[in-house]
Amino acid sequence: PRLANQIAAGEVVERPSSVLKELVENSLDAGASRIDLDIEEGGVKLIRVRDDGSGIGKEDLPLALSRHATSKISELSDLEAVASLGFRGEALASISSVSRLSLSSAQEGGESGWVARSEGRDMAAVLEPIAHPRGTTVEVRDLFFNTPARRKFLRTEKTEFSHLEEVMKRQSLGRFDVGFSLRHNGRAVHSLKPAQSQLEQERRLASVCGPAFMENALFIDRSAVDLRLWGWVALPGFSRSQADLQHFYVNGRYIRDRLVAHAVRQAYRDVLFHGRHPAFVLYLELNPTSVDVNVHPTKHEVRFRDGRTVHDFIFRTLHKVLADVRP
Ligand code: ADP
Ligand code: MG
């Protein structure tokens, strides 16, 4: 089973940013209201994720590191209504098989905190008591120390960090109610307070997407039967050549989907931006039973029950908004 862990790890653990994504999703699953990320050397030396979520009990700590032991999927009767972000029950096991991992945690009312440490696939987790506030800290050190071939595929520290930062940006725009901080090599890169009001949300947006985006962004909020599209779209004043400022969320989950991308692109093409990359942060909300979010293991794809209606709604909404403000 340990070898199986390491093989499967290749699917989940492609690079430091894929580790970070899984860890942050776990923190969100645990109901964290604040998540602090500490990175060293592009994540190769250290990825530390600290949250103030529900924590893990002593008995469950070793289990959390064992493959499939905790999969929530068996408890779910209606897969289509999955509200939780994680569902495979293998991320921590996979990550621990290719790193030196420590999982520290304490629960409300627990007598003390506990830490489980493991080192690669050959070592069973060791449990020790530790002082820890309510919540969980995961430290992933020396990623791929025992898989040199995988390690060779990593790019420069700067490139890996930009992937890590992108993960934080995506997560933080998906959960305005959660505070995030990101440090790299001891330097504070992002510090985002929970954002409730639209003003606070726009402050976070300016910090994550840059002030230029926010200065040229228009807030929209339109609803139709069972569908709501809201968020910010950049207006013509914002000319940015990169295609990386395209954030689309379905029921709070970041997605990259061809149908959605097509609808957005068509609307922009039709009205404004010939040959230019649209920039937007948009949220689509619909009945969870109308969308299957578990199509792909990386979970960036979705399948809409009625794709055509969704496409038309996004296209018509954006088309109207953009046409109204056309210079
Ligand atoms: P999954 O999230 O798919 O269940 P993981 O391997 O990512 O699988 O995590 C295993 C289990 O460890 C989770 O189901 C959860 O019970 C526990 N866990 C992991 N991270 C945290 C965390 N930050 N806070 C609380 N519990 C956690
Ligand atoms: Mg998980």
Q: Where are the domains of the chain?
A: 2-192, 210-324
Helix (H, G, I), strand (E, B) or coil at 292: strand
Contact by Cβ (8 Å): 250, 264: no
Architecture per CATH, 210-324: 2-Layer Sandwich (3.30)
Residues lining ion ligand 2 (Cβ < 5 A) are 26, 86, 91
- How far, in Å, is the centroid of ligand 2 from the Cα of 112? 24
- How far, in Å, is the centroid of ligand 2 from the Cα of 322? 39
pLDDT digits 0-9 by tens, 266-302: 998 888 655 567 889 999 999 988 988 766 656 677 8
Provide residues with CB under 6 Å of ligand 1.
22, 26-27, 29-30, 51, 53-56, 64, 70-72, 86-93, 136
Contact by Cβ (8 Å): 252, 286: no
Tell me, what's the pLDDT at 72? 44
What is the CATH number that goes with domain 2-192?
3.30.565.10
Tell me, what's the pLDDT at 84? 38
Tell me, what's the pLDDT at 240? 58
Tell me, what's the pLDDT at 230? 98
Tell me, what's the pLDDT at 237? 63
Residues 152/158/162/164 CA torsion (nearest 10 deg)? 60
Backbone angles phi, psi at 52, to 5 degrees: -110, 35
Tell me, what's the pLDDT at 13? 81
- pTM score of the predicted model: 0.88
2-192 and 210-324 have identical folds:
no
- Residue 220 token pair: 């929209």
pLDDT digits 0-9 by tens, 52-86: 999 999 999 988 888 654 444 444 443 333 333 33
Backbone angles phi, psi at 299, to 5 degrees: 60, 25
Tell me, what's the pLDDT at 295? 63
**What stretches in the chain show pLDDT beneath 50?**
1-10, 69-87
Tell me, what's the pLDDT at 63? 86
Tell me, what's the pLDDT at 87? 43
Q: What is the DSSP string of 123-179?
A: ---EEEEE---SEEEEEEESTTTT-HHHHHT---HHHHHHHHHHHHHHHHHH-TTSE
Mutate to test the pocket of ligand 1, among 67, 92, 105 (most ligand atoms within 8 A of CB): 92
Q: Is the ipTM of this complex over 0.90?
A: yes
